[in-house]
Structure 1
Amino acid sequence: MKRTHLPLNGLRVLDAAARHLSFTRAADELAVTPAAVGQQIRALEDMLGVVLFRRTPKGLELTPETEAGLDALRAGFLEFEEAVRAMQAGQASLALTIAAPRDITAKWLQARLAAYASGQPDLRFQLIAADEALDFTEANLDLALRLADSAGEHEGVRIGEAAFVTLEAAAGGPAHRIEWPGCPHGDEPVTIRVADAGLAIEAAANGFGRASVPSLLAQADIASGRVRVVGEASPSPLSYWLIAPMPQWRQKKVKALVEALTA
């Protein structure tokens, strides 16, 4: 059934004017001019085909038509307020759904989520393994982490530098190349091919050769001494981005998490 177009601004003005029985006080409440209140009331009267107020020596009086509709009008506004609260409840929830490639989740994201949640025992995460962009609405995502050259069509912020580092086992190893989808090309012979950059780091740590991976991904393994850096970091068009469409990006819980992950 097609819904009747509701003049919500006019009805809001009507409610205020009926409570105060004064266009001036209604205007103060609504932060508009008394003339604007009068204009809204006249437009509403024209639309409804009824007179809403009588002007008397004592001031404004409600007509029977206005009195007949006020209770339902105010009940409707309460329902609107409840609907808004229900829609905003997700922002206050303690659950966050995040999509990210498996390697950055294991090597970087999980440790930081655990630290973020340490002072918030009711916080809950759902992590989705995904290397490609997902439909945020279909997957009910709050945030995604991507290796890309930009945030693309979404809002986003880059984390870490846009650089790759070459790693080998702490004790050294062959100069063979460990290959994974997305790794820079090279002339060295390939000794092993793996599914992602995280597995490439593991292969380097186990002595298979050298892996060129995003510097952010390698931080923990370099710091722990499992691998060492060979040569200088090389600039890359790719880096890790936290991204989300504008509605999700503006949520308080997402803003707080992004701030924590980029601190």
Structure 2
Amino acid sequence: MSNPRITLAAHLDESFRALDTLERLRLLCDEVGGRIVFTSSLGIEDQALTHLILANDLPIEVVTLDTGRLFTETYKVWTETEARYGRRIRAYYPRHDALEKLVAHQGIDGFYDSVAARHACCDVRKVEPLKRALEGASVWITGLRAGQSAGRSAVGFVAFDSGHGVLKANPLLDWERERLTDFIAENHVPVNALHAQGFPSIGCAPCTRAVAPGESERAGRWWWENEDQKECGLHVDESGRLVRAKAPAVAEGPFR
């Protein structure tokens, strides 16, 4: 027997193609219901979605994962965003006992030593807090875009994430960088100052550098690792692959 959530994901994935981004968000609220969670890294993509959600008073929770290793500029835009929209962004933190054990084992910067050590750090600081953030949720909204990396170019608009047991929606999937920056400027959305300093993608401070001309948007994330290893674990399935929809990732036609 087919999983009704997979069927619903396929329906929404197809429906998203004819809608603008605000309509996509409203469709999720209307057709899925339940607890809908948007996880924000406070980067430019997520700030665009935060604006659409909060400015239109949509029944979507905005949360963030505070790893304890974020840039000062990230905390600043977090404060500015709450002031702009008059809403709190709910923070989820690593469990103190797991973090203490991790640092005791690998040192404060042990994630540089191997891919396994880095994954262990991401698991404690991001993956486990995400699981708590998504407990009881029906939909998980992210700011993934196809243009961020080669791996993300194959991700769909909506898929069923079996690892978390939720529908995972990527309403900005077909946005190009230029469309995104124009939207931010037109709507006076608070933005991380690091974006203007060569950081198109911003994560933890020790694991993010500015990118050089011609590099991909996520080249500055875990730059010491091979390109095919550079996901933190938030967006992969049980096999370690990015969660995908069966349908093609990006609709033809103009970007919305």
Structure with bigger gyration radius? 1
Q: Which has the higher contact order (CA 8 A, sep 6+)?
A: 2
Task: State TM-score, norm by structure 1.
Answer: 0.23
Greater fraction of residues in strand: 1
